[in-house]
Chains A and B, each alone.
Chain A
Amino acid sequence: MTPPEDDDQPVMLFRDVAKVYPLPAGDVRALDGISFQVDRGEFISVMGPSGSGKSTLLNLMGCLDTPTEGDIYISGTRIGDMSDADLTTLRRDRIGFIFQYFNLFPLLNIIENVTFPLMLKTGKGVDPERGREVLRAVQLDDSLFTHTPTELSGGQQQRVAVARALINNPDILLCDEPTGNLDSKTGAGIMDLMTELNRKGTTIIMVTHDPHIAEYSRRTIRIADGRIVS
């Protein structure tokens, strides 16, 4: 079970985190000495060139991986010693994921896609009321709710992905290049939505290599060669 939320704690805390990948040719330190804190309501972008350790950092922030060294706390909960089942529950309840390629389930319609994490949490079937409520919050047209993802445009699919990420009221919204697969106009629409969500109190961490998109955030963490440079 996920520990109770503590408003005084930072939403995310990295303390001297390192990630080492053991390879036959020798260990690779993908991240080294990473320390930062994310407070509730922040909008942070993480920037860095290819191979800088962005993806590794994203995996650690998303509790998909655990650090080799150092500690990571999500809302006060240390993730280093957690079992796979507990990490999975933490991801379900505390973290909302938004991917570059939307990653909706093609076998499910929009309402089912959006309420999927809620179904995981409650163990019950589709809650169409809650699904509609979140979809309206991301400004998706009601007529699309029963369509399948392939019948929607990229921008519409990303709005559905945002709604899915929000359905369990997570502490953090983790976005991996959320506009990377959209044209600039649609991308701007998604970023406006993000800004609006952040204004209403949602904590957002966004990994991007696009400086224009990074401008929507209020703080930027830059990494290079596995270290935070600014």
Chain B
Amino acid sequence: MIFWEIAKRNIRLHFLRSTLAMLGIVIGVVAIASMGILGNSLVATVSDSLSSVGDSVIVFPYAGGGGGFGGGGGSSENLKITDQQFQQIKRAVAPSVAIPVLSTSERMKVGVGGDDIVASVYGVDPKYLPDLNFELDAGSLNNANSGCLVGSEFAKDNNIKVGSRISMGTDGSKGTLRVTGIIKERGMSFDISTDNAVIATQDWYENTYKTENYDEVVVKVKSGQDTADVKVVIEKQLNKRDKVVSVMDSKATLASIYETFGAVTTFVTAIGGISMVVAGVSIFNIMMMSVNERVKEIGIMRSIGTQKKEVMSMFVYEAAIIGVIGSAVGGILSLVAGYAISALMLQSTKYLFTFATAFSVFEGVGFGIVVCLACGLYPAWQAANLNPIDALRHE
């Protein structure tokens, strides 16, 4: 239709002005979409490192101020879970598996002449290792009493291989452990943070540290059971009179973390939206200029039989062309910006080509087009409602 053609030609005639308006939209779309991409990548990164523990319920001794995170626990025997309490938990959560875990920090040395290092040491009964779903980079789970598993980062940092020996305690005062397996990187986790840790057997740990009580109990919830229900059961069973344990439902904690990241993503995207508002003001200004420059032309059109809606469509087309081109270019550039920001801030771009990223880009592009159309509507309406007689007299 002729009005589409006129809109195109007017944009071409005022190329610089139209390009600047488009640039505003490009910046707005890039800001919104790339912030969205960054936020989604952030959530995906955290989600990836936490998803493997989404089926866990962690029981800590109650320390008066809420449960710890990642298997903390004090040195005092009062801040431990007794075997009796463990048995109660075990019975309460069946058929889910309750795994008692002991933990501390220890000084150790790898090989002869190596430097002293400090790392977390866990004591876990080998029969529960399959339930913890450790994936191995090397070796096997079948560690004997003097054997241990180590995390991949710990192994990498200290050049540890299957068969390497680790002297525990200052000058090996707590004996030597032989590495039987290296656990694949698990990232941050609620139950046992293995990446920088040594996983010894429960027997070795109890003999070495002379303790019979546990620092935490990890409950691996079987499918068919809900983590929230398991949490309630444990609390009912153990916190009858006094609160003796804190129970953390990893799924609920994950949901809360996702919610927080979601809010952060929305916030940064909204900050990006400010630039879109600025772009919208610029589009509005340019459209008003376009209308004011063409008052006489509008008067001629109206006098020879152009309906109001046809005049309006001409200006809406103009805003739409600026919006669609600006938003499309912005959408493409936002992928580049998202890639750069993710690479710089997260050191990873593997979450770039996901549905969430595509959604962020479409969201930015859609918002750009809507802003352009919205900002073009009033000038278009004003043009359509000019009095033809006054418009014809306009110089």
Contacts and interface: CB of A to CB of B under 8 A. Distances in A.
B2 A119 contact: yes
Interface stretch (B189-197, B258-266, B304-312, B323-331): B304-312
Given A64-B389, A105-B6, A116 B304 contact: yes
A105 B307 contact: no
Contacts of A103: 296, 300
Nearest to A93: B305
A117 B304 contact: yes
A57 to B, nearest CB: 12
Interface string B1-27: 110011001100100000000000000
The interface centre, meaning the residue of B1, B2, B9, B388 with most chain A CB atoms within 10 A of its CB, is B2
Interface string A85-112: 1001101110001010001011110001
- Chain B: interface secondary structure? helix
Given A64-B389, A65-B389, A116 B308 contact: no
**Chain A, interface size: which category?**
20 to 34
A186 to B, nearest CB: 21
B49 to A, nearest CB: 58
Contacts of A120: 304-307, 310
Interface in A141-174: 164-165, 168
A84 B300 contact: no
Contacts of B300: 99, 103, 105
Contact of B297 (A65, A105, A117, A123): A105
Interface of A: 59, 62, 64-65, 84-85, 88-89, 91-93, 97, 99, 103, 105-108, 112, 116-117, 119-121, 123, 125-126, 164-165, 168
Given A59-B389, A125-B1, A108 B6 contact: yes
B306 A88 contact: yes
Interface of B: 1-2, 5-6, 9-10, 13, 296-297, 300-308, 310, 388-389, 392
A126 B9 CA distance: 16
Nearest to A63: B303
A111 to B, nearest CB: 12
Contacts of B305: 88-89, 91-93, 117, 120-121, 168
A85 B306 contact: no
B76 to A, nearest CB: 86
A88 B296 CA distance: 17
Contacts of A93: 305
27 contacts: A62-B303, A64-B388, A64-B392, A65-B389, A84-B308, A85-B307, A85-B308, A88-B302, A88-B305, A88-B308, A89-B307, A91-B303, A91-B305, A92-B304, A92-B305, A93-B305, A97-B304, A105-B301, A106-B297, A107-B9, A108-B6, A117-B304, A117-B305, A119-B1, A120-B305, A120-B310, A164-B304
3 shortest A-B CB distances, which residue pairs? A92-B305, A107-B9, A103-B300
Contacts of B306: 88, 92, 120
Contacts of B310: 120
Given A120-B304, A120-B305, A125-B2, 12 more contacts: A88-B305, A88-B307, A89-B307, A99-B392, A103-B300, A105-B6, A107-B13, A108-B2, A116-B2, A117-B305, A125-B1, A168-B305
Nearest to A92: B305
Contacts of B301: 105
A118 to B, nearest CB: 10
B388 to A, nearest CB: 5
A58 B80 CA distance: 100
A107 B6 contact: yes
A108 B5 CA distance: 9
The interface centre, meaning the residue of A91, A107, A123, A165 with most chain B CB atoms within 10 A of its CB, is A107
Contacts of B302: 88
A99 B310 CA distance: 22
A50 to B, nearest CB: 14
Contacts of B392: 64, 99
Contacts of B2: 108, 112, 116, 119, 125-126
Contacts of A164: 304
B295 to A, nearest CB: 12
A103 B392 CA distance: 9
A52 to B, nearest CB: 17
A49 to B, nearest CB: 19
Nearest to B299: A103
Contacts of A62: 303
A126 B392 CA distance: 25
Nearest to A56: B389
A20 to B, nearest CB: 15
